[in-house]
Amino acid sequence: MIGSGVAGLRAAIELSRHGRVLMLTKGNPLESSSIHAQGGVAVALSEEDDVSFHLNDTLKAGHGLCRRDAVRVLVEEGPGRIRELIAWGARFDKIGSKFAFAHEAAHSRSRILRARGDATGNEMVRALTVQARRQKRIQRLGHHFTVDLVVTGGRCRGALVLDEATGARFVVPARAVILSTGGAGQLYARTTNPPNATGDGMAMAYRAGAVLEDMEFVQFHPTALYLPNSPPFLLTEAIRGEGGRLRNIKGELFMHRYHPDAELAPRDIVARAIWSEMAATRSRHVYLDATHLSASFIKQRFPTIYATCLHYDIDMTEEWIPVSPSAHYMMGGVRTDVHGATSLPGLFAAGEVACSGVHGANRLASNSLLEGMVFGRRAALSAVAYARRQGRAAGPVPSAREIDGGPPGSLEDAEKLRSSLRRVMWGKVGLARTGDSLAGALGQLSRWERLVSRPFAARLDLEVKNMVQVARCIAEAALWRPASIGAHYRADSPKTARPGRLQHSRVERPSQKLTVKRKQ
């Protein structure tokens, strides 16, 4: 088990019922993206809702590229997973004796469960961690960086691991491996993701020969705090769901000019509208205005955001908050079926690292935490079934020295390369792309890829290697798709009505080329 967010924890709990589980996490296990998730978890549990409504909203947001069978699994199994989590001690906000369901953009019903106002991910991770600690067969290793997957005989047989404290490298053999390493937001100069979101799982799977799919679909959250001397901080969709309004630098409301649902339009539309307003007014941000909401409501509903804004001398009850889009979520990733199985036997994936087809070209707000719960469990059950079929007589695995092929070295000025890559991705492979910008990015990324094609000893160097390889996969997929659809916006071809638009992009290591697969 590689990763310790919602998907990883739920998978580990399920695995522990069938055998021994080792959870590997780079850095601190509490640094996952899941723990920072604010808005909530979307689930059809209210009296006015139904799984069919949730299914239709998800399909609509995905612009025709969702896999219906995966979406059906998500919405039908989701309520059971959330009830299970509540039974394990998760505490979601209530009004009286009933859950307080919030409304978010592109949802036809109020179906967003939240915890402590804007700390839903934190509460879900807390409850899952408590449950995982009760399972005696789960062993957790923090500060252990997974360098590569071990593949012999065409099957994934374990992982090569770096002990961050000692620098020692060793192989962990396994009958099955589950990736739940999260996304790759750190590829971009502006991102809501924590520093460890460097695409490690996608890069490892790619090098091992697994198929990556729909890598061009990177979701940019419309509203991240914009201050020149502070990192982007996510301002949840729920603020607009509760009535927050967007104003340009002149103070004008503008969303009604871009979509009939105004601030409650799908994320990709809101993000591009903000981008357009920034370009038209030659500004670096717009404003999120919640000053018409009552101060007591804001403090109670968004305590973390209120406190964070105050830390930067912004009182959101009295002042407009400067915001701009930031890289937020990967819809693409390691291709899986609805059971979490990848194209590489023995390797399974769940959560943001995976591409099951749930999100299509644009993720519906607050579906990601539910995805981690549902597909984390499914991947675990699939891994257990696979391990039982294989039995124990699999033979020896190679040593760390054999896998490395020589002594690991160091990357000259890794921090500078990391910074340069993030600027290239933001400027050329960001929210608005063109064929020329993508071709330019690919030229630079190909040169960098040659620099990182050898084994490295330090975590920072290994992360930069992963970032370069995943960045190239994103740029290559984006160049292949000439028309705009969902989160993939080609400024040189903004219309979506083109032949082949409902095909999935596909990147895999053996041919080093991009191929396509028709929608299923």
**Contact between residue 202 and residue 473 where contact means Cβ atoms under 8 Å apart:** yes
Instruction: Give the DSSP H or E segment for 178.
Output: strand 177-179
Nearest in space to 162 (alpha carbons), one of 183, 184, 142, 185: 142
CA 425 – CA 220 distance, rounded (Å): 13
**Contact between residue 261 and residue 420 where contact means Cβ atoms under 8 Å apart:** no
CA 380 – CA 176 distance, rounded (Å): 9
> Which residues pair with residue 223 across a beta bridge?
none
The angle at the Cα of 144, spanning 141 to 145, to the nearest 5 degrees, equals 140
- Which residue is catalytic, options 267, 272, 335, 363? 267
Active site residue 267: yes
Instruction: Give the DSSP H or E segment for 72.
Output: helix 68-87
Strands 347-349, 177-179: pairing is: parallel
CA 106 – CA 76 distance, rounded (Å): 19
Torsion angles phi and psi, residue 208, rounded to 5? -80, -10
Strands 354-355, 333-335: pairing is: parallel
> Which residues pair with residue 178 across a beta bridge?
348
Residues noted as catalytic: 267
